[in-house]
Amino acid sequence: MATVTRSVREVCEEAKAASHVLARVGREAKDACLKDLAERLEGRSAELLEANRADLEAGREEGLNDALIDRLTLTEERISEMAAGVREIAGLEDPVGELVESWTLENGLRVRKERVPIGVVAIVYEARPNVTIDAAALCLKSGNAAVLRGSSSAETSNAFLAGLVREALAAAELPEAATCLLEGRGHEQLRELATQEGLVDLIIPRGGEGLKRALKEAATVPVMYAAAGNCHVYVHEDADLSMAQRIAYNAKVQRPGVCNSAETLLVHRKVASALLPAAIQELADAGVELVGDERTRENAGSVRVGVATPEDWDTEYLGMKMAIAVVDSLAEAIEHINTHGTGHSEAIVTSSEEAAEGFTGGVDAAAVYVNASTRFTDGYEFGMGAEIGNSTQKLHARGPIGLRELTTTKYIVHGSGQIRE
Amino acid sequence: MATVTRSVREVCEEAKAASHVLARVGREAKDACLKDLAERLEGRSAELLEANRADLEAGREEGLNDALIDRLTLTEERISEMAAGVREIAGLEDPVGELVESWTLENGLRVRKERVPIGVVAIVYEARPNVTIDAAALCLKSGNAAVLRGSSSAETSNAFLAGLVREALAAAELPEAATCLLEGRGHEQLRELATQEGLVDLIIPRGGEGLKRALKEAATVPVMYAAAGNCHVYVHEDADLSMAQRIAYNAKVQRPGVCNSAETLLVHRKVASALLPAAIQELADAGVELVGDERTRENAGSVRVGVATPEDWDTEYLGMKMAIAVVDSLAEAIEHINTHGTGHSEAIVTSSEEAAEGFTGGVDAAAVYVNASTRFTDGYEFGMGAEIGNSTQKLHARGPIGLRELTTTKYIVHGSGQIRE
């Protein structure tokens, strides 16, 4: 018996048709569907865990490392978190139909600029099965059809999860093709997905640099890149040093594996000897490996601080390692950040408004902080609700990609017979 | 003696450095520079016309056709128009620093979302030398450094114009590299420009489909495509028929060579016999070549209306030709438009609010009109001032690309020592 497999194009065509229906669906029906999905996730958790066990067994046989197995693993607790996330999305404002601006032209034409769904959003991700639910829920709420391309290592889990979403869609009398799942099948499939012009309106990769690079090269449809974050904390000469130490520590240690954690600490030379010995000691005590320039190493006290290589300034460690440099001025700090940073999140600690303005104006990044940790760049922390990533590119969305960033706009113009003279 | 030619990369590096300075320049300095540029254009028009004559002579020798020669030609009048355009841009609000949103988080962090320049914007265009000035002025006003890649056929004119801009920049003590000119030198150069990641933040092509296609395939930096427009006027069954005829005529005839003119007229079957004979006669009298479906041809009176082929529904004629179809319903009109349109500008003529809402909600386009000509989709007409094109893509900008669309945003977050718990 032949297996009937739909092509990427066919899947995208179904998603496109569904997107036209979904764009007109009101908030109530979408929220009801999301709440129902949350129920299904919890009510069917035993089956879901069983599906997940099949992926885990296959993964262990294939020799996936512990970190990948951990990402792949679902538990009752993780399922509850997924359901809670879906309920939270249901509680957010619907961005569709939001009025961005309106005005009347001299000729009497009334112009409205409204938010509308983008259409078909493809999301390409790695092993975490929870992204299937996050992405499906965010797309549904923002009125977009989702084409999800998960990892083949999460095949069984993802198929079950996408099935639950489609059950909830069907129960709500919404088009099931609002959520379509492609199991990841190599680069040729990715290239096919990334060239569906006219069908796929946007691709968002959630994964490593290799995936982004592959997409950048192959894509003819627009791609929105979630971020790498080489973030800095700069301590100005007039900083409250205990605040500075607290912020530097938090930005590095609170959760070192995420993109908004800091990788490099920059310290004005005038406060290097007052700040660094204690700050370095505290970081080292927490288990942070440190590297620094010469002036930093002179202020390391009894802690061993390695020699920072040129590569260190460009590295997103995503772990318990930090580079430290002493700078002569605010301008040098800004120059260092604009040269080595990735435009994600950058912080200054200062008591001067002038220095703060110089920093926030001069640093080219999605988010710049005065006297706060870089760790706040996040859709939840910013009060935007859920996010699907954090953009460091400058077009369309810069910073957290939330529901509103998953919309585009439409000009709606009402007249009474106006023609162009 | 060797000619020193800077590489594309070197030019982009200079532009990047200039962009960092330009991002901090206030409105007054930018506007003064623009007004000075307008003076220089008018004051040096004799030299400019001489430079232009060199291009025209070379173009005639190379056998450029009349349309290309016309695009290439500068006159005193066209120079005055350029200067007026630059003065108009000087009079527009500065989008840089505009507050998009601000709010305070529960932890006391104050979040501001402000408009900032994108950085380095590359504009790739064909023979018209006036684009050199339009693009330079729009980029300067929006705080972006411009890398302009003109056509080699306008080499002498563009070099003179870019020289004038750089003189005005220097006189205003702004970085001259805020406007950099690359003379067009084949596809390899275009590919090089389109892959300057980290230096070029955005490329905007202003030219034909071949140029867009080449960029789409080569680019790794973001590209914003100006539009092709296969636009429609749909006349609903309850339309004021004299208004419908006036709008259809205006949308086709007033300026047929532009992207927001209409290519296809759709007419509800219930008003086909009342509208079409007169509308067709009027269009034919104006010299419009007509093709239509069977029901249209039955209502053509004595005018010869050709048989519309399937290709006609997909064609942007950009000239005095129009396709006409009779449809059975609003839904069929929407379906036709979403299938064949390019998402630019679409109009309905109706006296019913319900039909208007159905149309504006159901049609997927940058601008949808009720009882008005499609010809209003334009930065000037919308009151946004100058535009560098009209986007039919959904990311970042949809519709006219004005000054605001040449900016991105930055989150500026002020705290008092907040750390993430």
Return the domain boundaries, chain A: 8-226+401-412, 231-376
Q: What is the DSSP string of A89-144?
A: HHHSPP-TT-EEEEEE-TTS-EEEEEEEE-SEEEEEE-S-THHHHHHHHHHHHTT-
The per-residue pLDDT for range B374-420, each reduced to its tens digit, is 999 999 899 887 888 899 889 999 999 999 999 999 999 999 999 99
Nearest to A395 among B220, B222, B362 (CB): B222
Distance CA A320, CA A326 (A): 20
A336 contacts in B (CB within 8 Å)? none
- Residue B52 to chain A, least CA–CA distance (Å): 32
C-alpha B324: how far from chain center: 27
Which superfamily does CATH assign the domain made up of A8-226+401-412 to? Aldehyde Dehydrogenase; Chain A, domain 1 (3.40.605.10)
Pairing status of strand A399-400 against strand A390-391:
antiparallel
Q: Which of the pair, B184 or A98, is modelled with greater confidence?
A: A98
| Residues of chain A positioned with their CB less than 8 A from the CB of B338 | 20
Please state, in angstroms and rounded to a whole number, the distance separating the CA atoms of residues A170 and A158. 18
Give the model's pLDDT for residue B1. Answer: 38
Beta carbons of A419 and B382 less than 8 Å apart: no
pLDDT at B386: 80
Among A109, A255, A387, the strongest candidate for a mutation testing the B interface, having the largest count of B CBs within 10 A, is A109
pLDDT at B220 over 90: no
Q: Write down the pLDDT at residue B358.
A: 96
Closest CA to B206 of B222, B227, B187: B227
* Contact flag A411-B368 (C-beta cutoff 8 Å): yes
> Which of B251, B370, B412 comes nearest A360 by C-beta?
B412
- Closest Cα in chain B, distance from residue A407 (Å): 8
Strand B367-372 with B345-349, pairing? parallel
Segment B30-89, tens digit of pLDDT: 999 999 999 999 999 999 999 999 999 999 999 999 888 998 999 999 999 999 999 999
The answer to whether the beta carbons of residues A114 and A97 sit under 8 Å apart is yes
Q: Does the beta-carbon distance from B366 to A410 stay under 8 Å? A: yes
| Alpha-carbon dihedral sign for residues A136, A138, A142, A146 | negative
Percent of chain B exceeding pLDDT 70 equals: 99
Is residue A350 a contact partner of residue A356, using CB atoms and an 8 Å limit? yes
Q: Do the beta carbons of residue A78 and residue A70 sit within 8 Å?
A: no
Structural Rg of chain A based on CA atoms: 24
pLDDT at position A4 is 53
Which of A234, A54, A242 has its CA nearest to residue A153?
A54
C-beta atoms of B220 and A217 within 8 A: yes
Q: Cβ contacts (< 8 Å) between A105 and chain B: which residues?
A: 376, 381-383
Which secondary-structure segment (H or E) carries A219? none
Q: Which of A231, A243, A410, A414 to mutate to test the interface with B (most CBs of B within 10 A)?
A: A410
Q: Give me the pLDDT at residue B216, please.
A: 80
Residue of chain B with shortest Cα separation from A359: B412
pLDDT at residue number B3:
46
CATH for A231-376? 3.40.309.10
> Smallest Cα–Cα separation from B181: which of B201, B214, B158, B209?
B158
Residues of chain A contacting B366 with CB distance shorter than 8 Å: 410-411
Q: Provide, rounded to the nearest whole percent, the portion of chain B with pLDDT above 90.
A: 84
Q: Enumerate residues 6+ apart whose C-beta is below 8 A from A286.
A: A249, A253, A320
Write down the pLDDT at residue A9: 95
Strand arrangement of the beta sheet that strand A231-235 belongs to: A306-307, A289-292, A321-327, A262-268, A231-235, A345-349, A367-372, B407-418, B110-117, B99-104
What digits encode the pLDDT tens for the residues B96-153?
999 999 999 999 999 999 999 999 999 999 878 999 999 999 999 999 999 999 988 9
pLDDT at B226 exceeding the cut of 80: no
Beta-bridge partner residues of A414: A110, B370
Grade residue B258 by pLDDT with cuts at 50, 70 and 90.
Answer: confident
When CB atoms are compared, the residue of B20, B201, B383 closest to A338 is: B20
Cβ contacts from A onto B, under 8 A = 191
Partner residue facing B109 (CB), from A105, A202, A372: A372
Please tell me the number of Cα atoms within 13 Å of A299 on its side-chain side: 22
Nearest-neighbour CA in chain B from A92: distance (Å): 16
> For residue B184, what pLDDT is reported?
66
DSSP letter at A320?
S
The partner residues of B367 in beta bridges, in order of sequence, read A411, B345
Chain B positions in Cβ-Cβ contact with residue A356 (cut-off 8 Å): 414
Contact at CB, A367 and B410, closer than 8 angstroms: yes
Pull the structure tokens for residue A166: 């489609």
Q: Which pLDDT band holds residue B4 (cuts at 50, 70, 90)?
A: low
Rounded CA separation A18/B62 (Å): 52
What is the nearest CA distance from A161 to chain B, expressed in angstroms? Answer: 29
What are the residue ranges in chain A where pLDDT is below 50? 1-3
Listed in sequence order, the DSSP H helices in A227-347 are 241-253, 269-285, 294-297, 330-340
**Region at A85 (left for phi over 0; alpha for psi -120 to 50; beta for the rest):** alpha
Chain centroid to CA A98: 23
A120-125/A110-117 β-pairing: unpaired
Enter the tokens of residue B310: 């399937």
Listed in sequence order, the residues at least 6 apart from B228 whose beta carbon sits closer than 8 Å to its beta carbon are B209, B259, B316, B342, B344, B392
- Contacts with B408 from chain A: Cβ below 8 Å: 394-395, 398
Burial-class residue A332 by CB neighbours within 10 Å (0-12, 13-18, 19+).
middle
Q: Which residues contact A234 (CB under 8 A, 6 or more apart)?
A: A266, A267, A268, A327, A330, A333, A337, A346, A347, A348, A349, A359
Q: In the structure encoding, which two tokens stand for residue A82, read together?
A: 């997924």
How many angstroms separate the CA of residue B297 from the nearest CA in chain A?
A: 26
Task: Write out pLDDT tens, residues B268-321.
Answer: 999 999 999 999 999 999 999 999 999 999 999 999 999 999 999 999 998 999
Helix (H) or strand (E) run with residue A81 in it: helix A76-91
The ipTM is: 0.92
φ, ψ of residue B389 to 5 degrees: the values are: 155, -175
**Most A-contacting residue of B233, B260, B411, B421 (CB-CB within 10 A), to test interface:** B411
Helices (H) and strands (E) in chain B, counts: 14, 16
Of B338, B368, B413, which has the smallest distance from its Cβ to A369's Cβ?
Answer: B413
Q: Which residues of B touch A224 (CB under 8 A)?
A: 395
Report the alpha-carbon distance of residue A368 to residue B227 in Å, rounded: 35
Whole-number mean pLDDT of chain B? 94
Q: How far apart are CA B5 and CA B181, in angstroms?
A: 12
Element containing residue B256 per DSSP (H, E): none
Strands B407-418 and B110-117: antiparallel
Cβ atoms of B400 and B234 within 8 Å: the answer is no
Alpha helices by DSSP H, listed for B145-293, are 155-171, 186-193, 209-218, 241-253, 269-285
With left for phi above 0 and alpha for psi between -120 and 50, is residue A196 left, alpha or beta?
Answer: beta
